[in-house]
Structure 1
Amino acid sequence: MSAKHPPPRRRFLAHLGAAGLLATGPFGLAGCQRPEPLVRVAGIVWIGYAPLFLAREQSVYDATALRLVEYPSNSASLMALATGQVEAAALTLDECLLARAGGLDVRVILVFDDSRGADVVMVRPGITRLAGLKGKRIGVEETAAGALMLAKLLEATGLAPAELVKVPLTADRQTAAYRAGQVDAVVSFEPYATQLQALGAERLFDSRQLPGLIVDVLVARADALAAAPRTFRQLVAGYFQALDLLQRQPEAAAQRMAPHLGLTPAEVLRALQGIHLIDRAENRAWLAGPNPRLLPAAQTVSRAMRSARLLSAMPDLAQLADGRFLPGAP
C-alpha cells in the first residue's frame, strides 16, 4: 500500500498520537491480536457499564470465549481497541467517533445509557458559580468524554481555555488528586463523583444540562464481529439478562454491583438515578431499521466535537449502527 493511503490502523495510531494517547506504559502498543474465538471487551468502572460486569459476576458468560478486561480509563480502553489488545470496548459515543475519525472500522452493537446527571463537574466548597472556575485547576481526561464535557463547560461559563489550569487526570486518579489538594475541580462521573462527594466536593455542573450529549455504547471491530458473531450475541444477551435482574430486583443487584463500583448498595441506587438505561426495545430503535436513532445522535455529537476542536472533520457514519446482535434480531 502506498504512503499516500496508509492502512486504517496506521492512520488511527497517528491520529491518537496527535491527541496524546500514544503514551508509554502498560497500555501502550501491544503485539498481534489473539485469534478468535476469544473476544476481549475493554471497560472501566462506570455506573452505566455496571450491568455488563454484573453479568460476569453472575457467570453468564463462557470465560473461554469471552473475557471482560478492566482498564483504568476510557483513553486506555480506546487505545487497547486501536492496537488490537481487545476486540470490543465500552466507550462514550464521542470516543467511538474519535475512533472512526482515526480510520478504525468499529460498529455500535449496544447502547448502554444516556447520561442524565451522572457525568458531573465536582468542585471544592466555596466555588458556587461557573465563573468561579476562572484561574482554578481542573482535572480532566483530555482524550475522552471529559474533554467534551469541559468544552461545554467553557461554553456555558464564557471562559477561554487559557483561563483555566487544566490538569490531565484519568478517572482512576481523581479521588487521590483531590485528596492531595492537586485540583480545585474535576470533570468526573459515577462512581467517582460519589467518592469525591464523600471527600467534601460539591456538584456544580452535570449532564442534565447537556441532554443527549453523553451516550455510552458498546463498540466492536468489524473484523471481530465477522469472526465471532455467536460470541457477540452471547455478550449482548448476557448484558440484558443482568439488566433484567437490576430492574426486577434493584436492591439485590445493587448489593452485587457495589464492590465493583466501590460504593455502598444505597449509593449504587442513587448513582443509577443519573443515567437512563436503554432497554431492548429502545436499543432496536437506536440501532436497527432504515433510520436508526444512533445516526442523528452521532451527527449531533460530531458537530459538538468539531465546535470544540476535538474533531477536524465529520467522521464516516456508514454502518455505524449494527443491530444484528440484539436479542430477537434476524
Structure 2
Amino acid sequence: MQIRLSRLLRPVLLASVLVCSAIPLQSPAFAKEQVRIAGLTWPGYGWWQIAKAKNLAPDLDITYQTIEDPFQSFSLMTSGQLEIVSSTAEFAPIGASQNMPVRMFAYGNLSHGIDKIIVRPEIKNAAELKGKKVAVMVGGLPQIMMGIYLEKNGLPFDSVNYVNVIMDQATAAMIGGTVAAAELWEPFSSQTLSAIPGARTVASTADPEWASTGLIADGHFINSNWVKEKRPVALKAIKAMYDAIAWWKKNPKEGNQIIADGLKMSVADVELVLGKDGSGLDAGLYPYTFLQAAQACGVAPGDPPFGQKNGQLFKHYKLTNEWWVKFGVVKALYPPDKAIDCSLLKDLYDSGYRG
C-alpha cells in the first residue's frame, strides 16, 4: 500500500538514536511530556509531522522516528522505548500472540486504490495461477489479499508459491516473467501495467468488495503500559493526531509540504498517496477522521465509509487473525482485548470531541 519503497519489510540499518541531555531552562514541573512515536517513511503517518509543526499539542514533546522495519518498532515499544507506533493493521494478532503490551487503538488510513493484484498477460483466469509463483509481502496484508482473491476464485490459498520480494524486485520479476502475478502498490502497480502490454488488474482496493472489508489499512498502536501510567497524555497525543488530519483536510497544499519536509520525501510522492484536495478520495489512500475511526471502533454511532460497519476494526482483527492461523504466522485465535483498545477513542468521544 504505498510508494512504499520504505514501507517494505526489507533489511535496513537502523541508525543509532542519540539521547542528549542538557541543562533545563525551566523547572521540571513545567517540562513537556515526551511522546515518542515511530513509523515508516509513509505519507499516511505524516499527521505527526503536522501535529508537531503546527504545535497542536503545546504541552507535549512529540518526536517521530523513521524505522522501516515495523517489528523493530514494536520491539522498542515492548521494551518501553516508544509510546505509539503507526504501522499496518495486520500486526494486531501477532502482538497478541506474543503477549506484547501493544494495542491497536484506531484504524489509520484505508488503501483505496493504492494496492492492486496484477497478473501477466498469459494468465487468462485465476485457475491458471495454480502452482505458479506470485509476489507478495509475506507476513503482511498483501499476502492475505492474495489468499482471499484465490479463494474467491475457487483456488486454495496455498495452491500458489508465495515469493517474498520488495516492490522494485516484484516489478522486475513481473516484467521478466519469473512470477505470474503480484500484489503491488503505487507507483509499482502503474509501472508494471505500463511495462507489460496485456497485463491487467484483477483486484483493486478501490473495488467496493475490498473497500467494505477495510482489509488493507494502516493502524495506530499504543503502549498499554504507558497508557496505564499516562492516560491523559495519551489522550492529548491522539487528539493532536486527529486535529492534524482535520487541519490537513482544510490545508492540503501546506500540509503535504510539511509531511514531505518531515519525512524527507518529494511533495509529488506525498500527493501521489494523499492527493491534493484534502478529500482523501483523489489519490489512493483515505485517512479516517476521528469520528470515522471511532465508528470503526464501535464507540460512536453510525457506520464508517465505503460500506463498512460499526465496529469494523474488530471484524478486521478477526479476519487477519484467521488468516495468520492459515498461513502459520500465529497458532491460535486471540481475544480482541489482547490486541485492541478502543477505550481511548471512547473517552475522547464521550468528552465531546469530534475532531
Structure 1 counterpart of 2:333: 314
Contact 1:37 1:228 in 2 (8 A): no
Q: Compared with structure 1, are the counterparts of its residues 262 and 176 closer, same or farther at alpha carbon in structure 2 (3 Å cutoff)?
A: farther
Tell me if 1:41 matches 2:43: no
> Residue 204 of structure 1 is aligned with which of 174, 185, 202?
202
Distance 1:183 1:296, change over 3 A: closer
1:269 to 265, 270, 275: 275
Structure 1 residue 225 displacement after superposition: 1.6
Aligned to 2:224: 222
The equivalent residue for 1:164 is: 160
Superposed, which structure 2 residues align to 1:62-211 within 5 Å?
Answer: 65-82=61-78, 84-124=80-120, 127=123, 129-160=125-156, 163-169=159-165, 173-179=166-172, 181=176, 185-190=181-186, 193=189, 203-207=201-205, 208=207, 209-210=209-210, 211=212
TM-score by length of 1: 0.70
Asked if structure 2 preserves the Cα contact closer than 8 Å seen for 1:179 and 1:199, the reply is: no
Q: 2 CA distance for matches of 1:195 and 1:257?
A: 24
For the Cα contact (< 8 Å) 1:39–1:67, is it kept in 2? yes
Is the CA contact (8 Å cut-off) linking 2:130 and 2:159 kept in structure 1? yes
Ranges in structure 2 where 5+ consecutive residues have no aligned partner: 1-8, 18-31, 302-309
Distance of 1:302 and 1:280 partners within structure 2: 25
The TM-score, its normalising length taken from structure 2, stands at: 0.66
How far, CA to CA, are the matches of 1:313 and 1:323 in structure 2? Answer: 25
Is contact 2:117-2:203 (8 Å) kept? yes
Q: Distance in 1 between matches of 2:170 and 2:330?
A: 29
Q: Which has the larger radius of gyration?
A: 2
In 1, Cα distance between equivalents of 2:333 and 2:63: 33
Q: Which amino acid aligns with 2:291?
A: A
Aligned twin of 2:290: 280
Structure 1 unaligned blocks of 5 or more:
1-20, 31-35
C-alpha distance after superposition, 1:197-229 (max 9, x if no partner): 676675332333433233432111211222333
Paired residue total: 300
Whole-angstrom CA distance in 2 between matches of 1:232 and 1:198 = 45
Aligned to 2:26: none
2:253 is equivalent to residue 239 of structure 1: no
- Amino acid in structure 2 at the alignment position of 1:323: S
Q: Alignment partner of 1:103: what SS?
A: coil
Report sequence identity in percent. Answer: 18
1:299 and 2:318 aligned: yes
Deviation of residue 50 (structure 1)?
Answer: 3.9
Shifted more, 72-81 versus 312-321: the winner is 72-81
Q: Which amino acid in structure 2 is aligned with residue 145 of structure 1?
A: L
Residue identity matched to 1:299: K
Distance 1:86 1:109 in 2: 15
> SS in structure 1 opposite 2:82?
coil
What is the rounded CA distance, in whole Å, between the counterparts of 1:125 and 1:296 in structure 2? 35
User: What's the C-alpha RMSD, in Å, of the aligned pairs?
Assistant: 4.1
Q: Tell me the secondary structure at the aligned position of residue 121 of structure 1.
A: strand
Structure 2 CA distance for aligned equivalents of residues 88 and 80 of structure 1: 10
For 1:89-128, what per-residue CA distance to the aligned partner results, in whole angstroms no more than 9, with x for missing partners?
2233331122112211322333213334333224455556
Contact 1:128/1:204 (8 A) holds in 2: no
